[in-house]
């Protein structure tokens, strides 16, 4: 399968390697089986009239339902994180279907997001760290600490979630090493069920601004 990139998406060697890998080793999924075609009923020849014709009842043909159109099955999925652009790209069957602004590690000591290739791990859900909460966490790997994908950090004030660093998404790294997403994008990713999906995190080559 040839990967199709959306317009204006930078070309990265890591992205080509990721898509080439999933094309060569697709993740099997259930493929809808189209209904078997039913042969059309054979016409019953009309009896020739005889001196004493007897009416022969003809059985009406049973209606055959039209086949239901089936969508193209998802045979491979992938995630690519561009740290320079601070964008997460989502692929199905080699075609980009979503892109989310993200925010990765600041690059300060102990707060980097290392380049990495692997598969998305287990669902963490809501957790508390560094004095804040975050929802829709997905474990990736261990570095200086646990590296996750998760929603924006927040604190509770008067029974309301107050999100932090919302201006960072797509603009600047602001995390302790995890890959942050906006709350609605983190929820979408969770509903996409990414566990086991191949992911590549490209290295950050831009100097901090």
Between CA 209 and CA 191 the distance in angstroms is 34
Q: Is residue 39 part of a domain?
A: no
pLDDT in tens, the chain (209 residues): 434 444 444 446 676 677 666 666 655 444 444 444 444 445 444 455 555 555 555 555 555 555 555 556 677 999 999 999 999 999 999 999 999 999 999 999 999 999 999 999 999 999 999 999 999 999 999 998 999 999 999 999 999 999 999 999 999 999 999 999 999 999 999 999 999 999 999 999 987 66
Residue 196: domain span:
13-26+74-201
CATH number of the domain residue 81 falls in = 2.40.440.10
Please say whether the beta carbons of 150 and 134 come within 8 A: yes
Tokens of 71: 């969508």
Residue among 157, 207, 149, 158 at smallest CA distance from 182: 149
Q: What is the number of structural domains in the chain?
A: 1
Q: What are phi and psi of 205, to 5 degrees?
A: -110, -15
Which pTM was predicted? 0.70
Tokens of 74: 């998802």
């Amino acid at each position: 399968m040839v990967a199709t990139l959306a317009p204006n998406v930078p070309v990265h060697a890591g992205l080509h390697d990721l898509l080439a890998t999933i094309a060569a080793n697709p993740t099997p999924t259930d493929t809808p089986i189209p209904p078997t075609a039913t042969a059309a009923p054979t016409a019953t020849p009309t009896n020739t009239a005889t001196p004493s014709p007897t009416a022969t009842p003809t059985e009406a043909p049973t209606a055959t339902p039209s086949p239901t159109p089936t969508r193209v099955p998802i045979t491979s999925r992938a995630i690519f994180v561009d740290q320079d652009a601070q964008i997460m790209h989502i692929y199905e069957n080699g075609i980009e279907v979503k892109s989310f602004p993200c925010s990765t590690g600041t690059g300060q000591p102990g707060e980097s997001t290392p380049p990495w290739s692997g598969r998305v791990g287990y669902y963490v859900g809501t957790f508390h760290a560094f004095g804040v909460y975050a929802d829709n966490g997905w474990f990736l790997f261990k570095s200086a600490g646990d590296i996750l994908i998760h929603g924006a950090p927040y604190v509770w004030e008067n029974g309301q979630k107050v999100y932090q660093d919302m201006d960072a998404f797509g603009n600047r790294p602001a995390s302790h090493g995890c890959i942050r997403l906006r709350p609605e994008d983190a929820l979408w990713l969770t509903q996409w069920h990414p566990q086991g999906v191949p992911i590549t995190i490209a290295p950050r080559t831009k100097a901090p601004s």
